[in-house]
Amino acid sequence: MRELTQAERTTIARIIRVNHAGETGAIRIYAAQIWRARKHYPDMAPALETMRADEIRHCAIFRAAMTERETRPCRVMALWSLGGFVIGFATALFGRNMIWVCTEAVETTVHKHLLEQLHFLKDRDPALYDAIDAIKDEELEHRDHAIEMQSGRGSIDRAAYAVISGLTALMIWLSTWGDPSLMVRDLRRERG
């Protein structure tokens, strides 16, 4: 494989950093939701705990990838952590349906970005490509489970879905200094 340019290495470092930060945010979302579910909807707790365990494993994979590629965690980790907790706590207050609306919104937004990352990594970092490809499948399972569990979608649910998707996309964009926009451009150009 050819030697990567400095710009490509920077993008790869940003991908790992934003994914590590995103997994941290997801862990915090689930932690807040589990905390409330245990009290008010105990039947939901096991599924949420399984998803949180997946996110903890994903987070560790990206942390290890950082060491291998000599990069460090995102500078706004505290914001991801706090943001995740606030989203998890707020959605759990609205009840069980909103918890699943939140999962679907986050996982759908994340999935879009993972596809863009995979496109970029395919010929540049096969090891990271394989790791993200496997994680992507698990995130899709989370999303599908969330869709399955919803009882319908009212106007508050629809508004929350839009806000949570928007916030997730904004955090991703901020943490990669606009790289997703560049990846989207490349992806579209290649598709023609």
Q: Rank residues 23 and 125 by Cβ distance to Fe ion and give the closer one.
A: 23
User: In the bound complex, what is the minimum distance in angstroms from residue 138's beta carbon to Fe ion?
Assistant: 7
Which stretch in 2-10, 42-50, 51-59, 171-179 sits in contact with Fe ion by CB under 5 A? 51-59
Residue 154 Cβ, how far from Fe ion at the closest point, in Å?
24
Is 113 a binding residue for Fe ion by CB under 5 A? The answer is no
Q: Please, how many CA atoms are within 13 Å of residue 146, restricted to the half-sphere of its CB? A: 23
Using an 8 Å Cβ cutoff, are 52 and 27 in contact?
yes
Distance (Å) of CA 42 to CA 1, 29, 87, 150, 153: 51, 17, 20, 17, 22
Go through 21-43 and write b for each residue having 16 or more CB atoms within 10 A of its CB, e for each that does not.
bbbbbbbbbbbbbbebbeeeeee
Among 19, 55, 83, 108, indicate the residue that binds Fe ion (CB under 5 A).
55
Region 124-163 residues binding Fe ion, contact defined as CB under 5 A? 139, 142
List of residues contacting Fe ion (CB under 5 A): 23, 55, 58, 139, 142
